Amino acid sequence: MNTHELRWWRRRSVIAVALLLVVAVALSALLLGRHEDDRGRMAVGDSLQGDYSLSDATYEHDLSFQLPGSVLSVSVAVGQRASSDETGGSVEAKAPRDGQLVHVTWSATRSSSDGAPDTGDHASRLAVRSKTTSVVVDRAVKAPAQGSSTAGDDDRNQALVAVPGDAADVQLTVTFEGRTQSVSLVSGERRLGAFASLYRPRPASAQVSQTQDQPADERSGYWWFCTAEARLMTRAPYVDGLGWAPAGREWVVVTGAGVHVADTPAVRRADGRVAEYELDGTPKVAVTIDGDHAVKSTRAVRTHQDGTGTTRDYVFSIRTGAAATVDVRAVVPVKRGKGADRRAPATTTVRVSKTLSLPPAVDPTPRVSRTGSSAQGSNGTRVGDRIEGVTAFSGQLTEQRGYLPVAFGELPITIGTGSTIGDPDASGGEVHAPDGASLVQVSWDPNPVYDGPAVWPGSSPRDRRDPGTDLTLVTGGTATRWPRRSPWPTAQRRSPSSWRVTPPTPGWRAASAVARSAPSPGRHPPAR
């Protein structure tokens, strides 16, 4: 090797060493930068207890979950960076790559409804779910006992969770005694499952429909001082000791059913003489709902200091949402008291009863009947769907009003259009229109009044009958019709010169244009 070649190899070695040094420095800087970037980054599935604030929250909301015997309130925020100063120094946390940080604050309170059934002391489980990852933040959520208080800032009720995916993938789930409900944070879609009946609007209370506290024969001469009792009827999907009601069924809890017997349960008056009666044995009480007996009852409880009064709580199984009538019948044996008129019967029987009726109820889960096909909205809504159980709030619709002629007057009609209805926190949730389409609400409040003669010349009874009206929504080649007659009760005659039609329930349609309505053929009253 000559001198020239030797110099070339030496120069090449220096260049190689320099290149290696440059690569090493660049790699070190890259690794150092990545290390700094990963400082505080949480892994998918990790969770931290405590109060964290998100500096870049893309979603913040307050939610509530209805549970048997309690309500779980949750505040949730989603973002990429979080910090906490509780430990004396600032703690920084970052979302996993291609993931999100979810901060959750929760607390449970006892249901305040009177007559609520016994749901036991069971705990619920709260979890944050995104894609295939589910992180449990509390395995034993319990509402405090009535009258107690807990600190709202307790760290045990706050957590920061790292999950994969986007904010739209994040859900909250709550599990109680093997059943789970969930809500999607962004879309607001709720899956209520077995909990659906707990989200019904405040139900109408049971009403007394019949009471028998005196002899049916007013000429018997007896006066009774006994009453059958039934305080409340409450629907419930879950009752402690029985668990969840079977599919398609729900529990009805009848509270305080029994009989009250006064110290003098009966008096007989005849021919100016009075005979007082006293209790002769144990009263017998039968409690049924529509003829069926209870599946469970509690121990008898004395309810009155004067006389004899005992009641029980009864649990019945009925079809979900069905109307129910509880019948309480008591048989009270009595005997003639000492010193009473001996011409009065020595013994007799007091038979009293009370009936409570509970109106039907409908679960608030939106019901969508699939009658069309197109691209789906964010909640699966398609053009042609009829949606029920969702309320439109102020500002969500653009409304137009008009009138349509019908057989016995004019039909006031309102058409509202919009892209979103409902509220993710409301019982029915939130519904979005598909792309390129609109949600159309057609509501009608018919109050037609015909002031002409009750019978016009040449008319027959058939002519004078309201023929009913077909209300059809026609949009972009899609026609959707409300069934003929079914939403329209027969016109009711109010006076010889006026008629009124009872208003039906409005309905929702997903559509892409406006609506038209046409009355069905029928003879109209002549113009005056």
Q: What string of H, E and C letters represents the secondary structure of 32-69?
A: HHHHHHHCCECCCCCEEECCCEECCCCEEEEEEEEECC
User: Each residue of 354-379: b (16+ CB within 10 Å) or e?
Assistant: bbbebeebebbbbebeeebebeebbb
Question: Does 226 score more than 80 pLDDT?
Answer: yes
Q: Work out the number of other CB atoms within 10 angstroms of the CB of residue 353.
A: 18
Both tokens of 250, joined, read: 């729900």
Within 8 A by CB and 6+ apart from 11, the residues are none
Question: pLDDT value at position 34?
Answer: 55
State the average pLDDT over residues 516-526: 35
d(CA 303, CA 308): 8
Within 8 A by CB and 6+ apart from 227, the residues are 211, 213, 259, 260, 352, 354
State the average pLDDT over residues 460-477: 57
Of 49-53, 75-79, 379-383, 440-444, the one with minimum mean pLDDT is: 379-383
Question: Does 528 score more than 80 pLDDT?
Answer: no
Q: Percentage of the chain surpassing pLDDT 90?
A: 32
Distances from the Cα of 453 to the Cα of 408, 447, 449, 496, angstroms: 12, 18, 12, 7
Write the pLDDT tens digit of every residue in 384-417: 777 766 777 778 888 888 877 766 667 778 888 8
| 245 touches 251 (CB < 8 A) | yes
Question: Does 343 score more than 80 pLDDT?
Answer: yes
Question: pLDDT value at position 28?
Answer: 64
State the average pLDDT over residues 345-364: 90
Question: pLDDT value at position 175?
Answer: 95
Q: What is the 3-state secondary structure (H, E, C) of 453-498?
A: CCCCCCCCCCCCCCCCCCCEEEECCEEEECCCCCCCCCCEEEECCE
Of 24-33, 211-220, 353-362, the one with minimum mean pLDDT is: 24-33
Question: Does 169 score more than 80 pLDDT?
Answer: yes
Q: Percentage of the chain surpassing pLDDT 70?
A: 67
